[in-house]
Chains A and B, each alone.
Chain A
Amino acid sequence: MSTQEFLPEDALRAARHARSKARGVLGRFVGQLLALWGAIYLVMYGGGALGWLPPWAWAPIDLAGFAISFGLGARIGEAFRMTEGRRLRRIWAWFGVVMALAAFAFAFHGVEDPLFSFSVNLLVAYALVQSGEAIQRPGLVRGGLLLALVNSAFLAFWPGAYAPALAGMGLLALAAGLRQVVGRAL
C-alpha cells in the first residue's frame, strides 16, 4: 500500500472487523448449541404434550442431539485451542457422567417422568450456569437459572403445564441461539 492510499480509518475498520470475528467464535458455537437443544426441547416437550411424539422417540432424539453437539465441539476443538473451550469440555463431560449415573439409578428403581425429566433438567440448568460462569456469558447464567426456576415451579404448582412450559423454554433457547448465530453471521 502506498502512503497516498493509506487511510487510518480503513485500517482501523479492518482491524475491528477481524477482532470482532475472532471474538464471535465462542458465541457462534454457544448459539449453535442453544438453537439445537432449544429445538430438541420444543419438539420433545411440545410434541409430547400435543401427542405428536411417541415416548420411544425421546431416546433417539436425545442421542442425535448429543452426537451433533459432540461433533460441533470436536470441530471447534480442531480449529481453536482456548481456555474457555477446555472449561466447557470439562463441565459437559462431568454433566454426561452425572446424567448417566442419574439415568442408571432412575432406571434401576423404575422412576419415570416427570421426576426423571425434572432431575435431568436441573442438571442441565446447573451445567448451563457453570458454562456461563466459565466463559463469562451472563445470558447463559440467566438462562440456566430460568430453566431451574421454570422446571421447579411448574412441577410443584402446575404439573399439568410442565411439558408446555419446558417447550416454551426450548422456544426461548432456540430464539436466543438463532439470534447469536444469525446475528454474528450478518
Chain B
Amino acid sequence: MSADGMILTAERVTKRFGGLVAVDSVDFTIPPRAIVSLIGPNGAGKTTFFNMIAGLYHPTSGRIVFEGRDITGLPPHRITRSGIGRTFQNIRLFQNMTALENVLVGRHGRMKATPFEAILRTPRERREERETREQAKALLAYVGLAGKEDEFAKNLSYGDQRRLEIGRALGTEPRLLLLDEPTAGMNPQETAQMTTFIRRLRDERGITVLLIEHDMKVVMGISERVTVLDHGTKIAEGPAETVQRDQRVIEAYLGRARTA
C-alpha cells in the first residue's frame, strides 16, 4: 500500500492523441476495498483513462501508482501480473475457446510451468495443470457458469459472456478490478443481478472495483464515490448523491439550461 493509503493513485495523468487531449491532467485515487465509479458522457475520456491504468495506452504525462509501485508505462501483461484485472466494454473473450479455457488463459500469469516441463510432462507441471483446472472450474461456478465449462465462449448468451469475462479477469487474481461498462446492453433485471454481483466481489473477495459507467442510475446504488469526466477533465467527484445534484454534471449530461 502506498503512503497515502490508496490502492491506486493517478497524478495529473494526461493523454494526447495528436492534437486531441483525451484525458487532461486528471488526479484520481482509489481507496482499498472501495467500489468507485468513473462516469461521463460519450467521449469524455473514461475508457482512455481506464486503458492507461491497464497499460494499453501510455500516458503522455503524469504518473500512475499501484500499491506504492509506479506502474506508468508498463506493458499490459506486467500490469495484470502486478494485480490489476480488467474487462472490456465490447466483450473481448477468446470466442473460439471454451469457457474453461478462457479462465485458464486468465490463470496464465499465475502459473509457473515452462514449455520444457510441458514437453516432459513433469509431475510438477501435471499437478499445476490439474490444480489450475480446479481453480478455473471454481471460478466459473462463482460467476454463475457452473456446468458450462465446455461451452465455446461464442455460444454463450450475452449475459453469460459478460460473466465469463469477469471470471477470466478473476483468474488473474486481481486486487483491483477494472470493469468497463459491465451492464451495457443488459435489461433491468440482468443489470440488478450484475450490480449485486459486483458488490459480492468486494465483500467476499476483498477486491477493489473501478467501474466505468455510462448510465448514472447503475452507479448510484453501489459506488462509494463517483468521479465525473467531461471532455477529458474531471468536473466533479464525491458521493453519488452529491455528484448527481452537481450543476456542472447536469450540464455535461443534459446541456446548459438557457438563461433569459
Chains A and B belong together in one complex: no
Q: Which residues of A contact B (CB under 8 A)?
A: none
